[in-house]
Amino acid sequence: MPPSITSLTDHACLVVHGPDQPGLVSVIAALITRNKGNIISLDQHSSDPEDGGFFQRIVFHRQNLVTVMDDIRADLADTLGPYEMAWSLSDRSQPKRMAILASKDDHCLLDLLWRQRRGDLPVTIPMVISNHTDSVEDVRSFGVPFFHVPSQTGPDKSESEAEILRLLKGNVDFIVLARYMQIISSDFLEQVGVPVINIHHSFLPAFIGAAPYRKAKERGVKLVGATAHYVTENLDEGPIIEQDVVRVTHRDHVHDLKRLGAEVERSVLSRAVLWHAQDKVIRTGNTTIVF
């Protein structure tokens, strides 16, 4: 039987990256073999034949995986230590815990909740946090806790951010900003300690900042798009995970662009979330490798 997205008992995912060196593939494959793993899929990328970066993602099957995770981790530390590689090993039967931050617009939020319920996303959703209460009933009807943290008025958001941090701390593996219309401070990013994925409603780097659909209409573009990216200190400048576009015409007003774009936003965000949750995305500089 083929593996499903969400229940992969005895499947591990190993991600390794760092400076490319001859023999790495062989060393890593041998490690998996001696730990009785069978490689199911392997993606490898070298950014340059000489002096480039090495990026690898391996999914392997190992009976009774849970009983040997620590042994394999110890072996990885010993074996990869001399190569100065970064690595992570995850048990694919353990879904990542994803918090969603949202505002009034609910299309991305509801889409993620529904895909998760359908079994199309290998995540649990311990909480939704919003600065509005519009979606409270919808969210709870999915059996997901909803927390309302109103935005502070004024530029200082430290108190509301602190409350959000208290809710998140220790409870989540990554955060999704599903059309969350508050700017995240660099202080927040530093303290939260987990990856944060945002959906921007334009084809970045076009139309950075506010009101991208209005700007798109004014510029007369023939396609509008959406971009999912990791959040960094610089607004709309983080590493891009996924993008897509949809065709528009002169007949479409700004509200049509919003409607058509909303469809792209939810598709793009859901793919980015799926790939992140499957450990398929590796950050390198300000870009990503997506296996």
Residues marked active site are found at 236
What CA–CA distances, in Å, run from 232 to 25, 29, 97, 286? Answer: 32, 34, 20, 9
Query: Quick check: 220 binds a copy of itself (CB under 8 A)?
Result: yes
H/E stretch holding 268 reads helix 254-277
Rounded to the nearest 10 degrees, the angle between the axes of helix 107-118 and helix 254-277 is: 40
Least Å from the CB of residue 174 to a copy of itself: 19
Query: Quick check: 136 binds a copy of itself (CB under 8 A)?
Result: no
Tell me how far apart the alpha carbons of residues 142 and 117 are, in angstroms, rounded to a whole number: 8
**Which residue, 150 or 205, has its beta carbon nearer to a copy of itself?**
205
* Extended strands (E) in the chain: 11-19, 38-46, 53-61, 86-91, 96-102, 123-130, 146-148, 174-178, 196-200, 223-230, 240-247, 281-284, 287-290
Out of 123, 129, 175, 289, the only residue in the binding site for a copy of itself (CB under 8 A) is 289
CA proximity to 106, closest of 73, 139, 74, 75: 139
Least Å from the CB of residue 158 to a copy of itself: 31
Contact 91, 122 (CB under 8 A): no
Write out the binding residues for a copy of itself, residues 58-87 only, by CB under 8 A.
61
**Which residue, 193 or 205, has its beta carbon nearer to a copy of itself?**
205
Out of 18, 35, 39, 182, the only residue in the binding site for a copy of itself (CB under 8 A) is 39
Total residues at the site for a copy of itself (CB under 8 A)? Answer: 72
Query: Quick check: 255 binds a copy of itself (CB under 8 A)?
Result: yes
Query: Quick check: 205 binds a copy of itself (CB under 8 A)?
Result: yes
Query: Quick check: 245 binds a copy of itself (CB under 8 A)?
Result: yes
Query: Quick check: 41 binds a copy of itself (CB under 8 A)?
Result: yes
Query: Quick check: 103 binds a copy of itself (CB under 8 A)?
Result: no
**Which residue, 170 or 251, has its beta carbon nearer to a copy of itself?**
251
